[in-house]
């Protein structure tokens, strides 16, 4: 049988999926082993055991100086910023996206502006944000909003415009007002696309979060990584990177599950990643 | 005073840029007519239906409804069934059918809740039985067959008791057997509700079987140098008696072959 027609069984699929991860871990362990044969105090590729014990103490042993659990505090601070930023961006995307996609006059007046605004590299306005909002929480959240909202607005607007015209005409012949069409037709039709937009927006959101924390912060996952970089503490950095990746992965999967549960009609046809 | 015809089409033409699609359309349609519209692909019959719907406006001439110019946008007095995308994919079958009463009852949310919604769902029970979708009431349109979806679409289009029902190749994507059942259902509904029906179809047999009046759209004037200079118009306007189901042999030769235009 041709290879395009062969699909792996559920078990094979899981094993195949785990394979690249296993390969990465094994090759790291080998490289780390040989480096430490040369120099037992090597800091660049610490052993898996060392990383595990450092991560354990970051997570479950209170910091000697402050008495805080560092991993928990960093994670909560970062997630709060991420949530506030992406949440605000989602709200903006919903309101502006529907208005732009549904009402031609608003589209004419706002679409070119949003398109231009979305091309500003967000990091370049970080200094402006620091000057306006100071070095506190607001500037970090605003950076995430500025970095993610324009693209999300555009993808929501596009989703609205992709609603078949026939459905909108049908709603008109059933006596719907513009507001009723918005609440009963446009909103439910684009909510699954909004979730997709959030999932895609989370990728740059994490980048802006870590960047802002690296530059000016006193807590957070990005702050911690850039702090311990000074001591070449790869045994902290690598587990933190894996932890951040795991958080990002879990949030992404969670949103996908929410979408499948809430909008079965949207996922009725075909596979999706 | 003489009552005006249900629909009056007065010297209507339609031009897209340099292309003249329709020209010199003149028609009076009496109330209760089942008007079928046939013609080759691209001859503007769907455009004509879109104009009756007010989704596009003619570039020349005027269309009147009961002696009054058509409104500028689609309204509940004209129901529509498209070939595709006619029902709301995010609503179950029964919720597709209560939508019109939800719009009427709830201006702010457009949604009914609790007891009011249960009542509305109970009210469409009979319609569901009628179109044979009662067992599928809780299913989403994507889980229905093509024929079931179009039955739902027709039932939904009739919710506001439109005086005019517009059908744009509603059975074009259906199997012949199912098509027959759908035609019977449509004829029954037309007789009961005393509507004026306009139906665009590719199927010439269907046009003869269902229609009390049949319009054939075609180009009559050809300019070999500028093929786009002239548009299609109504070349045959046939009053059919009820029960005529076969085209007369001579007519059949004149009409476009439905198979060739698919």
ipTM above 0.95, yes or no: no
Most confident of A43-47, A203-207, B173-177, B183-187: A203-207
Report d(CA A120, CA A109) in Å as an integer.
19
The bridge status of strand B7-16 relative to strand B60-65 is antiparallel
Report d(CA B208, CA B260) in Å as an integer.
18
Residue B157 touches partner A, C-beta closer than 8 Å: yes
Whether residue B83 lies inside any domain: the answer is no
Which has the minimum average pLDDT: A58-72, A169-183, B216-230?
B216-230
Q: What is the CATH number of the domain that holds B185?
A: 3.40.50.300
In tens, the pLDDT along B35-64 reads 999 988 878 888 999 999 999 899 988 999
Strand ranges of the sheet holding B196-200, from the earlier edge strand across to the other edge: B68-69, B60-65, B7-16, B19-29, B232-239, B213-219, B34-39, B196-200, B164-168, B78-81
Whether residue B91 lies inside any domain: the answer is no
Q: How far is CA A180 from CA A167, A187, B145, B157, B165, in A?
A: 13, 10, 29, 18, 23
Which B positions 173-232 lie with beta carbon below 8 A of chain A? none
Residue A270 touches partner B, C-beta closer than 8 Å: no
**Most B-contacting residue of A159, A165, A173 (CB-CB within 10 A), to test interface:** A173
pLDDT band at A224 (very low <50, low <70, confident <90, very high): very high
pLDDT band at A258 (very low <50, low <70, confident <90, very high): very high
Residue B71 touches partner A, C-beta closer than 8 Å: no
Whether residue B89 lies inside any domain: the answer is no
Contacts of A104 in chain B (CB under 8 A): none
- CB contact at 8 A, A114 and A263: no
Number of structural domains in chain B: 1
pLDDT greater than 90 at residue A265: no
Average the pLDDT over A191-217 and give the result. 93
Contacts of B80 in chain A (CB under 8 A): 169-170, 173
Domains (range + CATH), chain A: 70-262 (1.10.3720.10)
- What pLDDT does residue A40 have? 87
Is B75 in Cβ contact with A265 (below 8 Å)? Answer: no
Residue B244 DSSP label: -
Average the pLDDT over A49-73 and give the result. 90
Residue A104 touches partner B, C-beta closer than 8 Å: no
Give the structural domain span for B240.
7-77+162-261
Q: Digits of tens for pLDDT over chain B (262 positions)?
A: 567 788 998 888 888 888 888 888 888 998 889 999 998 887 888 899 999 999 989 998 899 998 899 999 999 999 999 988 889 999 999 999 999 989 998 888 888 888 888 888 888 888 888 888 889 889 999 888 888 899 899 999 988 889 999 999 988 888 888 888 888 889 988 988 889 999 999 888 889 889 999 999 888 877 778 777 788 888 888 888 654 444 444 454 455 544 444 3
Is A173 in Cβ contact with B74 (below 8 Å)? Answer: yes
Whether residue B142 lies inside any domain: the answer is no
Return mean pLDDT, chain B: 84
Which A positions 203-232 lie with beta carbon below 8 A of chain B? none
Residue A260 touches partner B, C-beta closer than 8 Å: no
Report d(CA B23, CA B9) in Å as an integer.
11
In tens, the pLDDT along A98-133 reads 999 999 999 999 999 999 999 999 989 999 999 999
Nearest CB partner across the interface for B90, out of A173, A176, A265: A265
């Amino acid at each position: 049988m041709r290879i395009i027609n062969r699909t792996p069984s559920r078990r094979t699929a899981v094993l195949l999926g785990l394979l690249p991860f296993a390969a990465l871990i094994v090759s790291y362990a080998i490289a780390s082993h040989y480096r430490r044969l040369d120099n037992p105090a090597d800091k660049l590729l610490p052993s898996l055991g060392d990383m595990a014990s450092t991560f354990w103490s970051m997570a479950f042993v209170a910091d000697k100086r402050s008495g805080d659990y560092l991993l928990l505090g960093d994670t909560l601070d970062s997630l709060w910023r991420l949530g506030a930023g992406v949440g605000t961006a989602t709200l903006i995307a919903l309101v502006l996206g529907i208005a732009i996609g549904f009402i031609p006059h608003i589209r004419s007046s706002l679409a070119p502006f949003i398109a231009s605004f979305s091309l500003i590299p967000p990091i370049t306005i970080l200094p402006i944000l620091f000057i306006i909002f100071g070095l506190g929480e607001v500037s970090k959240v605003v950076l995430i909003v500025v970095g993610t909202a324009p693209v999300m607005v555009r993808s929501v607007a596009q989703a609205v415009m992709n609603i078949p015209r026939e459905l909108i005409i049908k709603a008109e012949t059933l006596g719907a007002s513009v507001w009723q069409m918005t609440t009963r037709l446009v909103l439910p039709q684009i909510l699954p696309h909004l979730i997709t937009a959030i999932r895609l927006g989370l990728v740059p959101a994490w980048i802006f979060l870590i960047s802002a924390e690296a530059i000016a912060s006193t807590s957070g996952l990005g702050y911690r990584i850039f702090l311990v970089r000074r001591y070449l503490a790869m045994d902290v950095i690598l587990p933190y990177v894996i932890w951040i990746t795991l958080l990002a992965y879990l949030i992404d999967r969670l949103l996908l599950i929410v979408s499948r549960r809430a909008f079965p009609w949207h996922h009725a046809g075909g596979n999706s990643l | 005073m003489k009552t005006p015809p249900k629909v009056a089409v007065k010297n209507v033409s339609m031009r897209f840029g340099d292309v003249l699609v329709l020209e010199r359309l003149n028609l009076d349609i009496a109330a209760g007519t089942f008007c079928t519209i046939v013609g080759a692909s691209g001859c503007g019959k769907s455009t004509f239906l879109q104009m009756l719907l007010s989704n596009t406006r003619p570039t020349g001439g005027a269309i009147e409804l009961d002696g009054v110019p058509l409104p500028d946008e689609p309204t509940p007095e004209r129901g529509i069934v498209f070939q595709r995308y006619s029902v709301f994919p995010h609503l179950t079958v029964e919720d597709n059918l209560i939508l019109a009463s939800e719009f009427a009852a709830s201006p702010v949310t457009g949604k009914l809740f609790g007891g009011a919604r249960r009542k509305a769902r109970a009210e469409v029970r009979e319609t569901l039985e009628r179109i044979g979708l009662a067992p599928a009431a809780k299913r989403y349109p994507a889980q229905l067959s093509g024929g079931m979806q179009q039955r739902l679409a027709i039932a939904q289009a009739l919710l506001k008791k439109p005086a005019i029902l517009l059908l744009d190749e509603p059975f074009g994507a259906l199997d012949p057997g199912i098509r027959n059942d759908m035609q019977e259902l449509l004829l029954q509904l037309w007789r009961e509700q005393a509507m004026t029906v306009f139906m665009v179809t590719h199927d010439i047999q269907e046009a003869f079987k269902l229609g009390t009046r049949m319009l054939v759209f075609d180009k009559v004037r050809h300019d070999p140098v500028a093929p786009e200079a002239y548009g299609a118009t109504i070349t045959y306007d046939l009053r059919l008696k009820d029960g005529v189901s076969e085209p007369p042999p001579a007519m059949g030769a004149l009409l476009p072959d439905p198979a060739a235009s698919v």
